[in-house]
Amino acid sequence: MMVKLVTIDAKGMHYTPLNQQVRRAVEDGADEVVVQNVLGQRFIGDGLKGDATIHVYGVPGGDLAMFMSGPTVIVHGNAEHAPGNTMDAGKVVIHGSAGDAVAHSMRGGKVFIRGNIGYRGGIHMKQYEAQRPILVVGGSAQTFLGEYMAGGLLIVLDLDGAMKARGIGSGIHGGEIIIRGDVDDACLAAGAKKVPLTDEDRRRIAPVIREFAGDFGLDPEPLVNADYTRIVPASARPFAGKYTWE
């Protein structure tokens, strides 16, 4: 079957008509949409459904793939803040770095970032039944990683050896944060605790790491077999002991 490909030149275009064109292309049955010359246009793929693949060339603006439910967005460059915000399903692949609040409140799908992310990565990710969001960061993450996390899987591979996150997992009450290498206790926030990565855990994350390595042309096996620190909630009810009734 022929792949239906639509190319859009985003040069000088406001985000609303750009997003309309992407939406129309997907509704008209495009399998692949290539968006050229993107320069800061926000909300690309916002609320988009279906199973098309959107290739973004350039630097998209904030809230890429927000509320997205199904498609794949591949960014051939860096992204701004909060890609994958409140995303439900689908996949975001960024061949560069991204800003703050990556995968904020994400409920399902995958966000893969080859480079670094800013502050509050994976904040308030959550899961429900079969929906379990996955955020994988190739480089480093900044402070407040996995804050308020309520579900899902967050992996930081620290490929460039410059992991900066402190205050990891403040208020975490679900899900897991897995960071390659050791993490100093002083970098954990109240409510988070370190546990050893079991063989079962490693088997569980191996397919995710292989998929990530495949997307970015990395050798997967050294990553699959590396040492990891697993960070989980100290309690599923972090605020249970804080209140009394009138």
Binding mask 129-148 for other proteins (x = CB under 8 A): x-x---------------xx
Burial class (CB in 10 A: 0-12, 13-18, 19+), 32: middle
Please identify, using beta-carbon distances, which residue of 81 and 110 lies nearer to other proteins: 81
Please report whether residue 115 would count as binding other proteins according to CB under 8 A.
no
Site for other proteins in 11-30 (CB under 8 A): 15-16, 19-20, 23
Distance set, CA 112 to CA 19, 27, 53, 79, 214 (Å): 22, 25, 15, 12, 11
Please report whether residue 46 would count as binding other proteins according to CB under 8 A.
yes
Please report whether residue 68 would count as binding other proteins according to CB under 8 A.
yes
Among 33, 53, 55, 63, binds other proteins (CB under 8 A): 63
Nearest 5°: the CA angle 158, 222, 203 is: 95
Nearest 5°: the CA angle 117, 10, 22 is: 85
Find tokens 């480093």 and name the residue: 140
Give me the least distance between CB of 24 and other proteins, in Å please: 11
Distance CA 169, CA 148 (A): 7
Please identify, using beta-carbon distances, which residue of 36 and 239 lies nearer to other proteins: 239
Give me the least distance between CB of 6 and other proteins, in Å please: 19
Binding mask 169-208 for other proteins (x = CB under 8 A): --x-xx----------------------------------
Distance CA 219, CA 221 (A): 6
Nearest 5°: the CA angle 155, 171, 225 is: 20
Number of residues that bind other proteins (CB under 8 A): 51
Distance set, CA 233 to CA 23, 74, 116, 120, 176 (Å): 39, 32, 24, 16, 8
Among 127, 140, 142, 229, binds other proteins (CB under 8 A): 127
Please report whether residue 222 would count as binding other proteins according to CB under 8 A.
no
Please report whether residue 228 would count as binding other proteins according to CB under 8 A.
no
Which pair of tokens denotes residue 196?
A: 């050893």
Q: Which residues is 230 bridged to in the sheet?
A: 178, 195
Nearest residue to 74 (alpha-carbon basis) of 115, 46, 35, 105: 35
Please report whether residue 43 would count as binding other proteins according to CB under 8 A.
yes
Please report whether residue 236 would count as binding other proteins according to CB under 8 A.
yes
Please identify, using beta-carbon distances, which residue of 69 and 143 lies nearer to other proteins: 69
For binding to other proteins (CB under 8 A), which residues are involved?
15-16, 19-20, 23, 42-43, 46-47, 49, 62-63, 66-69, 81-82, 85-86, 88, 101, 104-105, 107, 120, 123-124, 126-129, 131, 147-148, 150-151, 171, 173-174, 236-246
